[in-house]
Chain A
């Protein structure tokens, strides 16, 4: 049986988009010769040539700023920033330039660029290579943020991001690149802003995204043996996020848990909880709970990192509290 790997899905999305549209270009550190730190860009230079697929020097601020200018002048650039931690050097181009131009220039243009990057722990990569900084970007008006949690989403969301007229940050997860699923019959482009019910259930809603979905699914499987049905909402997009889907799920489970790998404080979960406490107040039979990383930099040692990341035990403990 043929299978689809997450990093191959990312690769295929770019290849299909580049084949369909000659204005799509790809550049970043090690994307051409080395094929990307996680192999997601392998073979693309051979397919599309050195003009459209380029290795850059290690100059994150300049290359993301270049993407902005290229997008203003007729290209659809895809830039790979190999770790989301390195986006710190590129924040001006993302936050002050790309995000603002459409509004700031009176809607005379859009900035159709895609920033592909990856986040997440589990590999012992330490405090400067494991962070989940997606909430920073979701906080900036003008940016869109997606976080694919499986190979089909990785393909469908990236295609949508490349087609999108606005700047989109695509946050992949380093722990997912090697995951695989049976080759789907079809790989549709997935609309940005739409969540998916990855498991239906009636007893509680668990909202999650990206790498954290793995532990969430394990927990849901464990609960099934006890006769507890957890509904899993895979957000897929963080900005905009699918408020209607979360509310609809809450409206029939009446209990809400939000799980993400990012630091819990001031995170995506806080926004969802606040909105649901407002528009979903009448549906709630219990306080909204969150599980995220503690308020500390992510550690290297396996024993520490295991405890740092949301895991089966911490999620299960929250479920028990929610159902108590």
Chain B
């Protein structure tokens, strides 16, 4: 490959990464507005400040790879390829939503795209990713499963059970910790006495730390780890250092949080970092395209019909032939 082609490919890659980081950011900013407008049922957890992790990890994954997500899962769903119309319609609780308006923010899922669900229960997605990895292994698929979780899940017993099991069975699973330093309303420094790196050593699972706000770094590290997992290397851990810009949920008054902590988060903005190597022209072109896509999806969602009762009530069990 000539140097010119390589440079062009690299430029296209950086643009793709930036586009996804920005897409997640703008989508979630729009969600905050839609929530304020009263159009979103329930509450939502935004990943503003953490977008580079979803964008970077998913950039490496193939369609056959599977992921499980968390309560902060909008970015994972979007980056794994959930259709934008279906995403916004789901968040607004409309019939053409990805889950027909029954799951909403905390349960966005597109199984056909390998997105096995955001999850309202901390750590609950991790064993589901392991099971998906088991299926890849038993059915001899060249696929990996990725379990996203936050540092708030580190004190859940499930994570420990799953690290042991994944290592024991050499499952093709990547554990991705989005360490944003908060577990719900309390800094994890006040919840957890160990580090993920030490835990990884205990279970004999390789651990790699990366700047989770640098999308190119996340993609690069994920690429290396996923290649090893595909080659039969067993489970790996990618710990992404990041910062939660907002509160636990949108509207969280964040009592007791030092404002300096939020300023620190803003200073490491993944969108700004992803722009580093792009020209002004490219940036404004991508910004405009993303804004248009989001506007169109929101218009679709606003106009979409409410779900019907009969369909919803009939969906509890599969129809029996």
Q: Which residues of A contact B (CB under 8 A)?
A: 23, 25, 51-52, 54, 56-57, 59, 61-75, 77, 92-93, 96-97, 101-110, 141-142, 144, 165-166
Contacts and interface: CB of A to CB of B under 8 A. Distances in A.
A68 B131 contact: yes
Given A62-B158, A69-B131, A102 B99 contact: no
Given A69-B130, A105-B102, A57 B317 contact: no
18 contacts: A56-B165, A65-B124, A65-B127, A66-B165, A69-B133, A71-B131, A73-B136, A75-B134, A92-B124, A102-B317, A103-B102, A103-B312, A104-B109, A104-B117, A105-B117, A106-B103, A141-B316, A166-B318
A70 B135 contact: yes
Contacts, number: 149
Contacts of A23: 139
Interface string B111-146: 110001101110010111111111111110000010
A81 B318 CA distance: 25
B168 interface: yes
Contact of B316 (A65, A70, A103): A103
Contacts of A93: 124, 127
Contacts of B315: 102-103, 106-107
B127 A57 contact: no
Contacts of B318: 102, 110, 165-166
Given A70-B134, A73-B131, A106-B101, A62 B312 contact: no
Would you list the 6 A-B pairs with minimal beta carbon distance, nearest first? A69-B131, A65-B127, A106-B100, A73-B135, A62-B161, A66-B131
Contacts of A166: 317-318
Given A73-B66, A93-B124, A66 B130 contact: yes
A107 B103 CA distance: 11
B138 A51 contact: yes
Interface of B: 66, 68, 97-103, 107, 109-112, 116-117, 119-121, 124, 126-139, 145, 157-158, 161-162, 164-165, 168-169, 312, 315-318
A65 B128 contact: yes
Contacts of B138: 25, 51-52, 70, 75
A57 B128 contact: no
B100 A65 contact: no
Contacts of B117: 101, 104-105
A69 B116 contact: yes
B116 to A, nearest CB: 5
A52 B137 CA distance: 10
Contacts of B97: 106
A66 B103 contact: no
B102 A106 contact: yes
Contact of A97 (B110, B128, B157, B317): B128
Given A56-B165, A104-B117, 13 more contacts: A57-B164, A59-B161, A62-B165, A65-B128, A68-B128, A68-B131, A73-B116, A97-B121, A104-B99, A106-B100, A108-B111, A142-B316, A144-B317
B86 to A, nearest CB: 9
Nearest to A110: B318
A66 B127 contact: yes
Nearest to A165: B318
Contacts of A57: 161, 164-165, 168
B135 A74 contact: yes
A205 B136 CA distance: 50
Contacts of B165: 56-57, 59, 62-63, 66
A92 B121 CA distance: 8
Contacts of A59: 161, 164-165
Most chain-B Cβ atoms within 10 A of its Cβ — which of A51, A72, A101, A141?
Answer: A72
A175 B111 CA distance: 41
A106 B124 contact: no
Nearest to B164: A57
A93 B130 CA distance: 13
B128 A61 contact: no
Contacts of B129: 69
A142 B315 CA distance: 9
A70 B136 CA distance: 9
A62 B162 contact: yes
Which of A54, A73, A77, A105 has the largest count of B CB atoms less than 10 A from its CB? A73
A118 to B, nearest CB: 23
Given A73-B136, A165-B318, A106 B98 contact: yes
A74 B139 contact: yes
Contacts of A107: 100, 315
Nearest to A106: B100
A110 B131 CA distance: 15
Contacts of A103: 102, 312, 315-316
B196 to A, nearest CB: 18
Contact of B135 (A54, A56, A69, A144): A69
A71 to B, nearest CB: 7
A70 B102 contact: no
Nearest to B136: A73
A56 to B, nearest CB: 7
A72 B109 CA distance: 12
B113 to A, nearest CB: 10
B162 to A, nearest CB: 5
A73 B99 contact: no
Nearest to A112: B318
A147 B107 CA distance: 32
Contacts of B158: 61-62, 65
A96 B111 CA distance: 17
A67 B129 CA distance: 10
Given A61-B161, A108-B110, A75 B98 contact: no
Interface-centre pick from B121, B161, B317 (highest chain A CB count, 10 A)? B317
Contacts of A52: 138
Nearest to B133: A69
Contacts of A105: 98-99, 102-103, 107, 109, 111, 117
